[in-house]
Chain A
Amino acid sequence: MTRLTVNGSAVEIDAPPETPLLIALREHLGLTGSKYGCGAAMCGSCTVHLDGAATYACVTPIGDVEGADVRTIEGLSENGDHPVQLAWIAEQVPQCGYCQSGQIMRAAALLEENPRPSREEIIDAMSSNLCRCGTYVRIVKAVERAASEA
């Protein structure tokens, strides 16, 4: 049994310690906003905040993060109105949308650490996440918008 805090609530997960955090979130807790894309820390579709830092949930065994504070896209804001989410809508970023929970969590972590990132800093941070639909142009615009409106 692994104990975690997920989106502010204490939870217990009945799964082997080597179970990826992503599977625990999706299949044990029903938080399906975080996505499986590669299982290899390559695409970032699974990005969540682990004790505040953007982390690939797909390669994080739950046994390694006992007691950690996990935030997922479902817990980023009460009503989907985090500045990054609002900027994502304003810039009409998502196409298929599958990677976008991860992109949003990555961007939110960036802005918490660096509220006024330069364009280069945005691109550098967001290069940890991939998007096959090619929404990159709008991702940059949306992060810039979120930084300016937050």
Chain B
Amino acid sequence: MSNSAQLSVSRRAFLASAGATAGFAFAIGVDGLQRVANAGTAASSAKPNIWVSIAASGKIRIIYPATDLGQGSTTALPLMLAEELDANWSDVEVEQLNVDDRRYGNPKFGMVRYTAGSSAVQGYYMPLRLAGAQARSMLISAAAAHWAVPEDRLRTEPSAVVDHETGERLSYGEIAALPELATTRVPDASEALLKPTSDFRLIGADVARIDIPAKSRGAYQYGVDVRVPEMLYATVVRAPVEDETPISVDETGALAIPGVLRTVTLPDGVAVIAETQEAALFGKFALSIEWSETSSSRGNNSDQDLIDYAATAEDLSQDGAVWRETGDAGAAVGGADRQVERTYLSDYAYHAQFEPMGAVASVENDGASAEVWIASQTQSWSLRTVTETLGIDAEQVTLHMMPMGGSFGRRTELTQPYLRDALLTSKAVGRPVKVLWTREDDVKFGAYRPAAAQRMIAGLKAEGGLQGWRHRVAAPSVIAYFNPLRWAQVEPQDIITMRGAENKFYDLGDMRAEHLITDRRARLAPWRGIGAAYTSFAAEAFMDELAEEAGADPVEFRLALLKDNPRGRWLVERVLEMSDWKRARDGTALGLAFAGYGDSMAAGVAEISLDRESGVIAVKNFWTTVDAGVIVSPDNSLAQIEGGVVHGVGSALKERITIVDGEVQQNNFYDYEILRIDETPEIAVDIAQVDAPPTSIGEVSTPVVAPAIANAFFALTGRRLRHMPFTPERVLAALA
């Protein structure tokens, strides 16, 4: 078998052959084989637009404009084009876009090349379908010219144009070789060319994901798997506290290790460069570094941060940046029969994406050009990191966007330090360098979901109805830190910190959601669910408390606020039915939550049990309903929703980064625990069947989980959990 052949060659020869593969863009056939791309080499091909080319062989190559972090859009995006092209799916090959060409940008992100916010299917739904319809129309025109018949009597079948009057047919590949193609006008992309949605045969069907066969064979190549000829390895010791710098470095121990070549001092760390991965790793632990001790970040303590943030949220003399406002919430609450106020807290959370941060860079000509292999969520900001770090133009950069072993927002920042490390070390040694962060590096030098304190204030009418809603979020701006260029455009509107607080799917009447922008006391980044991961916890835990204060049933209290939102009502009523909500339980209890993510909605019911001795909550069942418009990939959508629930349970019960004197206290998965399989609930999902444009799937199920658990805890114990995560210590304190 092939492995024995690989193993019999020398290491140098194998590196060279692996490098030959890595030197090209990757492409995936729908048969799941990852193969070398050779775009543009076909002798004759139809190229109706920037998105698709059809070769005389019949192969249909579709550009994948996003990046792969496991979300399944390497299948879903090309599928949308193939649907309107009326392509035979098995003819399709998918090619990763490796340039920052804004023509391929996501309209949801102002055409920046950025894969985030569960927006790819939503943003590309129309552009890719239009591109497919345009290509199909062009192929029909060429066939009509060839046969000298009117276009309107021709139809398409998968990958073929058919004249039903003559019985003649031409495959798309045959059309690609026609001389008439050269003079065929490309029609304007127009919605009039689109299929009726009732004719869809790929969108909404369970087409298997094209990446899964290679991912089940260990054959899928991620960023950290790249190896190129002459490549060296680097590890980096980073400053223990943000903004500290190395003052002196004793490299004696590191240089004594065979294979270690040299060290390179970076702005915020020291790199060890070696001939082998193991030497780079051993060298890292043999370095002795003296750090500056002047950073103001040494004053950061996460416990105190939350106390300070809560004081800000509760100080009503401070006005925040308005995130959403309807009517006069202050007056409504003030004039109500009763006022209810609560504070909810949430800690920093870490991404824990499984592939550690890293990159391969080959900086050439003393820094004048570079080739890089990077797993990130953005061609645009990875390219910018290269051009800014080296001071060169984009034309001097060859970019290879590699699949990511998870990300969840981790690899989105404007300036990517893991890529910068690879560039600076490669430039220093004049050879390609692979930088690999250890897990400890990423836990300690990660960028986290912000800690937040939220003050919820509402008025209740005498008869129990809601009269005015205020949601005050005291938390730093995530955007200001992870993308200052974007902040200059949107300040003070921070969707990453604030999403969810708009609470637009309920009719709350007079409402005001505002952002009290606090000092940043940690590195920050978007995290699965972004703001909704904590704002929906506060809003929906508070909703249950309001119902209790009003003497109302928590279900009826919510349904009254959804009276003008029939799709939202269906989600709640359906999830109650799935969970058999009214059935009495022995030793367990149920809690409900309803929340939006962008333009999507979800409802969830958690069933929990509690070990009152240890304070450990177990989530036995989680039922969830989702409305995300038209579902392009039904089975993958279920998978994303299941994963979002698992993420949500971990976030609700366990995940917590703490900072003392500026240093992150956690190290690895033994002290930053994510949910394990034996802690995972049974998960049941129902997705609404609606005829509306697609919205977000990948993050929609995470926000409802924590409040559903908190509300179930109240049903079980009569006590409230207002500080996420609900660690055993906090649970025991709530029970005391």
Q: Which residues of A contact B (CB under 8 A)?
A: 6-9, 11, 15-16, 18-20, 23, 26-40, 42-43, 45, 72-75, 78, 80, 85, 88-89, 92-101, 104, 123-124, 126-127, 129-140
Contact = CB atoms under 8 A, between A and B. Distances in A.
Given A78-B1, A94-B215, A132-B352, A27 B72 contact: no
Contacts of A85: 216-217
A41 B439 CA distance: 12
A88 B352 CA distance: 23
Contacts of A135: 639, 642-643
A97 B211 contact: yes
B276 A15 contact: yes
Q: Which of A16, A75, A93, A94 has the most CB of B within 10 A?
A: A94
Interface string B200-217: 000000001101111111
Contacts of B439: 37-40
A134 B646 contact: yes
A104 B71 contact: no
B212 A101 contact: no
Nearest to A84: B216
B166 interface: no
Nearest to A8: B4
Interface stretch (B38-46, B218-226, B421-429, B568-576): B218-226
Nearest to A142: B216
Nearest to B214: A97
B674 A98 contact: no
Interface stretch (B401-409, B476-484, B513-521, B611-619): B401-409
Contacts of A75: 1, 3
B404 A96 contact: yes
Given A30-B14, A96-B403, A137-B646, 13 more contacts: A9-B8, A15-B278, A27-B227, A29-B6, A38-B669, A39-B668, A40-B669, A78-B1, A92-B635, A96-B70, A98-B222, A127-B678, A133-B406
Nearest to B647: A134
B674 A72 contact: no
A20 to B, nearest CB: 7
Contacts of B278: 15-16, 18-20, 23, 27
A27 B277 contact: yes
Contact of B212 (A27, A31, A88): A88
Interface in B673-688: 674-678, 680, 682-683
B376 to A, nearest CB: 14
B7 interface: yes
Contacts of B6: 29-31
A2 to B, nearest CB: 12
The contact size tier of chain B is 35 or more
Contacts of A95: 70-72, 406, 639-640, 643
B674 A96 contact: no
A97 B7 contact: no
Interface in B483-511: none
Nearest to B208: A92
A120 B675 CA distance: 17
Q: Which of B11, B215, B356, B408 has the most CB of A within 10 A?
A: B215
Contacts of B406: 95-96, 98, 132-133
Contact of A136 (B7, B71, B408, B680): B680
Contacts of A8: 1, 3-4
A129 B208 CA distance: 25
Contact of B7 (A29, A36, A89, A92): A29
Nearest to A15: B278
Contacts of B562: none
B216 A93 contact: yes
Interface string B631-646: 0000110011011111
A144 to B, nearest CB: 13
A30 B227 contact: yes
Leading 3 A-B pairs by shortest Cβ distance: A33-B218, A96-B70, A134-B646
B363 to A, nearest CB: 21
Nearest to B698: A95
Nearest to A34: B218
B18 interface: yes
Interface string B214-245: 11111111101101000001000000000000
A85 to B, nearest CB: 5
A27 B276 contact: yes
A32 B221 contact: yes
A35 B647 contact: no
27 contacts: A7-B1, A9-B4, A18-B282, A20-B278, A26-B277, A31-B6, A38-B439, A38-B668, A43-B669, A73-B217, A92-B209, A93-B212, A94-B216, A96-B404, A97-B70, A97-B212, A98-B355, A100-B215, A127-B676, A127-B677, A129-B677, A132-B353, A132-B354, A134-B642, A134-B680, A136-B677, A140-B677
Contact of A39 (B438, B635, B646): B438
Nearest to B678: A127
Contact of A130 (B209, B220, B647, B669): B669
Contacts of A20: 278
Nearest to A85: B216
A98 to B, nearest CB: 3
Given A9-B3, A134-B646, A33 B219 contact: yes
A101 B218 contact: yes
Contacts of A96: 68-70, 353-355, 403-407
Contacts of A98: 70, 222, 354-355, 405-406
